[in-house]
Amino acid sequence: MDRIRLVGGNELRGEIPISGAKNAALPLMIASLLTDEPLVLQNVPRLADVKQLERILENHGVDIAVHGRRRGEEDAVGQRMTFHAADIVDTTAPYDLVSKMRASFWVIGPLLARCHEARVSLPGGCAIGTRPVDLFLFGLKQLGATIDIDDGYVVARAPKGGLRGAHIVFPKVSVGATHTILMAATLAKGTTIIENAAQEPEITNVAECLVAMGADITGIGTRTLKVVGVDRLHGASVDVIPDRIETGTFAMATAMTGGDVLLRGARAEHLDAALAILGQTGAQISVEGNGIRVRRNGNGIQPVDVDTDPFPGFPTDLQAQFMALMTMSTGVSKIRETIFENRYMHVAELARFGADIHVDGQLATITGKSQLKGAQVMATDLRASVSLVIAGLAARGETVVNRIYHLDRGFERLEDKLSRCGAEIERLAG
């Protein structure tokens, strides 16, 4: 298993190109199941999770092509890809494929809408709590589907004539359930209202893609989505939005090491809450024409309290990285994780750097230290892993992060991007 070796202490200085968002690319790829025409996606990040979803889509019969770069794009991150589901040859998503990544469960919506049946294994993914699928099943049932659980599989069938529009009020905000029901509703008969929908920018990216494919959706970007079903969708060409979690991660890394980094292509409106909090810690944030600039010049890191919340709140996917930053603040800060019940696996690993963190249920209390010390640590889940890299960049001496396959699921060219900004970081094979 590959490892990452870092020697901390260097300030980050330079420019980092922000990749396409993993959490937008995955559902956009899944949307290709809704039409027999090609869906072209620009700026798809090269990540293990994308590769994994390609395998799943190919199993359903999707033809996938990766296109070369155009002149002038040689330095671009991401890739242009076409997904063509001319025929769905198999409506089963098997355990060995779905268990590796939770988002692959989302194929259930488009498969059910287009083929009127789907058999999808219960999902896997990062072990950050129980992560049930009750909201998905609730929404699909409202659209008229019958659901059985058979041998670890969800077996869903649409009523005769296909799914039917419905008024769905989600009892809890879920990104995945919103994506899935939104996609399913585009081909349902009649009108669907989705209340308490997730508002994340990735939902907007997918909703706008569906509209480009011929869907009738209003309320995009709000808590209430209205979908008037259409008979069929067609092909389209859509850009994957820049990754706000990658942006926030590098912003926090810069705030922690000090320095001056331009996050090229990043969109500030996708992470207002996180940027405001970073500003309170003493980092200087400025929005420039081609991205976001983050600076911190020698001043101490101020302690700031944070609760994670659905968008537009502070994202749970930046909680671990922010905690890394707070381990070097000049005082005591509190973080409350409100989205997932078990998302503090990085705490024990951050302690290896000498961090002082006390967890009581959903609340973590972090007493800042003036210096961390490099350590041997273990990556546990995707975002937790990168918090260890950030801590290592700021710590004195050598850090080795083991089990970095989690990082490869969600961060494109991480070592390359950081080393170009002055970090001493390398991948050790095997």
* C-beta of 29 vs 266, nearer to ligand UD1: 29
Does the annotation mark 126 as catalytic?
yes
Binding-residue total with ligand UD1 (CB under 6 A): 21
Binding mask 26-45 vs ligand UD1 (x if CB under 6 A, - otherwise)?
x-------------------
**Binding of residue 132 to ligand UD1 (CB under 6 A):** yes
Say how many C-beta atoms besides its own lie within 10 A of residue 236's C-beta. 21
Binding mask 311-350 vs ligand UD1 (x if CB under 6 A, - otherwise)?
-----xx---------------------xx----------
Q: Which stretch binds ligand UD1 (CB under 6 A): 125-133, 261-269, 286-294, 387-395?
A: 125-133
List 166's β-bridge partners, or say none.
Answer: none
Q: Nearest approach, Cβ of 314 to ligand UD1 (angstroms)?
A: 11
Distance CA 102, CA 100 (A): 7
Q: Nearest approach, Cβ of 276 to ligand UD1 (angstroms)?
A: 18
* C-beta of 175 vs 253, nearer to ligand UD1: 175
Residue with tokens 């041997």: 376
Q: Nearest approach, Cβ of 175 to ligand UD1 (angstroms)?
A: 4
Q: Nearest approach, Cβ of 273 to ligand UD1 (angstroms)?
A: 12
Helix ranges (DSSP H) in 195-318: 201-212, 244-257, 272-280
How far the first Cα of the chain sits from its last, in Å, is 5
Binding mask 370-409 vs ligand UD1 (x if CB under 6 A, - otherwise)?
----------------------------------------
Give the pairing type, strands 79-84 and 63-67.
antiparallel
Distance CA 146, CA 143 (A): 9
Q: Nearest approach, Cβ of 339 to ligand UD1 (angstroms)?
A: 5
Q: Nearest approach, Cβ of 222 to ligand UD1 (angstroms)?
A: 17
Q: Which stretch binds ligand UD1 (CB under 6 A): 58-66, 126-134, 298-306, 318-326?
A: 126-134
Measured in degrees and rounded to the nearest 5, phi and psi for residue 188 equal -80, 160
Taking only Cα atoms into account, the Rg of the chain, rounded to an integer number of angstroms, comes to: 22
Of 115, 126, 209, 421, the active-site residue reads 126
Residue with tokens 């199993």: 59
* C-beta of 114 vs 343, nearer to ligand UD1: 343
Task: Quote the strand ranges of 305-378, DSSP E.
Answer: 306-307, 332-336, 356-360, 363-367, 376-378
* C-beta of 21 vs 389, nearer to ligand UD1: 21
Q: Nearest approach, Cβ of 137 to ligand UD1 (angstroms)?
A: 7
HSE-up of 359 (CA within 13 Å, CB side)? 15
Backbone conformation region of residue 259, classed left if phi is above 0, alpha if psi is from -120 to 50, else beta: left
Q: Nearest approach, Cβ of 151 to ligand UD1 (angstroms)?
A: 20
Burial class (CB in 10 A: 0-12, 13-18, 19+), 298: exposed
Exactly one of 87, 134, 148, 416 binds ligand UD1 (CB under 6 A); that residue is 134
SS3 (DSSP) at 123: coil
**Binding of residue 135 to ligand UD1 (CB under 6 A):** yes
Binding mask 254-273 vs ligand UD1 (x if CB under 6 A, - otherwise)?
--------------------
* C-beta of 21 vs 81, nearer to ligand UD1: 21
**Binding of residue 165 to ligand UD1 (CB under 6 A):** no
**Binding of residue 205 to ligand UD1 (CB under 6 A):** no
Q: Which stretch binds ligand UD1 (CB under 6 A): 132-140, 222-230, 294-302, 348-356?
A: 132-140
Helix ranges (DSSP H) in 47-170: 48-60, 95-98, 108-115, 134-142
Residue with tokens 């260097």: 10
Distance CA 388, CA 249 (A): 11
Distance CA 376, CA 392 (A): 10
Q: Are 194 and 227 in contact (CB under 8 A)?
A: yes
SS3 (DSSP) at 133: coil
Exactly one of 174, 186, 257, 380 binds ligand UD1 (CB under 6 A); that residue is 174
* C-beta of 343 vs 417, nearer to ligand UD1: 343
Give the pairing type, strands 39-44 and 79-84.
antiparallel
Contacts with ligand UD1 by CB under 6 A lie at 23, 26, 102-103, 129, 131-136, 172, 174-177, 202, 316-317, 339-340
So which residues are the catalytic ones? 126
